[in-house]
Chain A
Amino acid sequence: MKYAYYPGCSLEKTQRGYDQSVREIFKILGQELIEIEDWNCCGATMYMSVKETVSLAVSARNLAIAEKMGLDIVAPCSSCFTVLAKTNRILNQVPEMHQNVNEALSESGLSYSGKTRVRHPLDILVNDIGIESIIHKTKRSLNGLKVAPYYGCQIVRPEKGFDDRENPVLMDKLFNKCGAEIVYYPMKVRCCGGMLMTTFEDTALKLNKELLECAQKHQADIIVTTCPLCHMNLEGYQDRINEIYNTKFNMPILYFTQLLGIVLGLPESSLGLDSSFIPMPQKLKSIMEVQYV
């Protein structure tokens, strides 16, 4: 299958590990990603603007270009994914809004009929490609690795989407089949605070401390994530959490696509694993040394 790829602002540089690993695993699984030419920011925070046409039009520009390409969008960032999907829903449910947005889009010769589907890579991997055909291509087993799957809050909400809203299981199933042990992780959809790390730092630090604590308590070796913002909060602020709460967290955080890339036998460098702040656990390093064809 071919998809219109929407990396989003964080994946361009700050979270290049996610970008690289998404591209690599799609390639090795025979899927084609074509980056949306000149995509613009989906305008997440613009939903706070006084009236909505601006924020809807900004994100709809991307939907319109993808529609022209005749492809569905793949958006790995949970935030972009939620915003683009929400725009889609509003345009399909509120005709006046749809009309207004099209009026704005026509200024640059675009129009959007509402057909583009917005997909998350996890959904495509598990529900379209299927765990069985992925397993077919694996080169390594995650045997002995204990994984805490963290979905974050946006990927399965607010509307019923591709996985359960309270207890999503797609990553659990996927990595379980890859040989990993999925630890009990009741905080899998508990919010990390997102942008609160900037605006209400204390509150966000506490939320992230709880997420790390829960993973540690259940003896996870790593946490896997699906969203650049959660990733940044859990990884980039671990030092600060240790400083404030007097803890000693040293929890490696990997994107689920990086972990899957390892299983598929891809080399460390092509998965952007060199960009992690916290080194991989020994168990995972040993797994990477094995290569059975």
Chain B
Amino acid sequence: MDNLNFQSAGYMSKKEVELRRIFLEQVNYIPAGERIKRCIQCGTCTGSCPVSYAMDISPRQLIALFRAGEMETIMKSRTIWICASCYACTTRCPSGIKITDIIYALKRTAMEKNYISQANQVQILANLFVNNLMKYGRLHEGTLIRNYYLKTSLWKLFKLIPLAKKLYQTKRLSLFPKRINAYHSLSKIIKKAQEIDLRITAPPLEYSPEYVGYRTLGEMKLEQRKGE
């Protein structure tokens, strides 16, 4: 049986189980993250999304795919990277699902598992942002944008010259990054936080990996909807 190389319904590959584990661990950090169980597939999120036209998988489909045991398809999608985090979907979801945060969780899962997406410029920008912050304590926009285009497209960097010129003329261009004075104490905080992150493994949401579909998350509890 172990050698079967096709997947029958209800059986998840090891990879899928691992992706779900990481993702659900992330979801656990989202306040009221467990509401992901309550998606009614109404499509309000997709209809509210200003960039859904440019996505390959709609926000509604993300949740359907997750339920169906297709995490890998999600990991390879353009959708999770093009999301602008505008919270339009989250605001309107009738089931109170924090879709924006779920997409953040998906991004983190993809980063942890090294899925190089089609749109990996988002990761490049995010990494440069983090480097910039670690180095100076504040973001120096000029450095960030320059480094980003040096890595992705020199042509686009060139096309930014008129904008840079205007910024210069209106005294809005800062040429050199400056470190904050408390830089060392900030670094200490970051270092410690990194250590803490390594030791955290939150208990994942309860789920039964042997099932796909609605039953993956175990019995649904009808808890009271809090807040809001």
Contacts and interface: CB of A to CB of B under 8 A. Distances in A.
A237 B159 CA distance: 11
Nearest to A193: B84
A157 B90 contact: yes
B87 A54 contact: no
Interface in A168-214: 189-191, 193-196, 198-201, 203, 207
Given A94-B29, A275-B170, A198 B148 contact: yes
Contacts of B84: 153, 191, 193-196
Given A40-B180, A50-B108, A51-B200, A10 B141 contact: yes
Interface residues of A, number: 70
B160 to A, nearest CB: 10
Contacts of A97: 29
Nearest to A189: B88
Contact of B82 (A13, A52, A100, A200): A200
Interface stretch (A119-127, A133-141, A159-167, A249-257): A159-167
Contact of A201 (B91, B156, B185): B156
Interface of B: 29, 31, 50-51, 54, 81-82, 84-88, 90-91, 98, 100, 104, 107-108, 111-112, 119, 121-122, 125-126, 129-130, 133, 137-141, 145, 148, 156, 159, 162-163, 166-167, 170-174, 180-182, 185-186, 188-194, 196-198, 200, 202, 228
Interface of A: 9-10, 12-16, 38-41, 43, 45-54, 56-58, 61, 89-90, 93-94, 96-97, 100-101, 103-105, 107-110, 153-154, 157-160, 165-166, 189-191, 193-196, 198-201, 203, 207, 236-237, 239-240, 274-277
A40 B186 contact: yes
A105 B189 contact: yes
A277 B170 contact: yes
B182 A40 contact: yes
Contacts of B133: 40-41, 43, 46, 58
Contacts of B194: 53-54
B162 A239 contact: yes
A49 B82 CA distance: 17
Nearest to A276: B170
A104 B189 contact: yes
A159 B32 CA distance: 12
Given A13-B174, A14-B172, A153-B88, A104 B192 contact: yes
Nearest to B109: A50
B130 A165 contact: no
Contacts of A166: 91
Contacts of B192: 57, 103-104, 107
Contacts of A9: 138-141
Contact of B190 (A57, A237, A240): A57
A69 to B, nearest CB: 15
Given A9-B139, A41-B139, A50 B182 contact: no
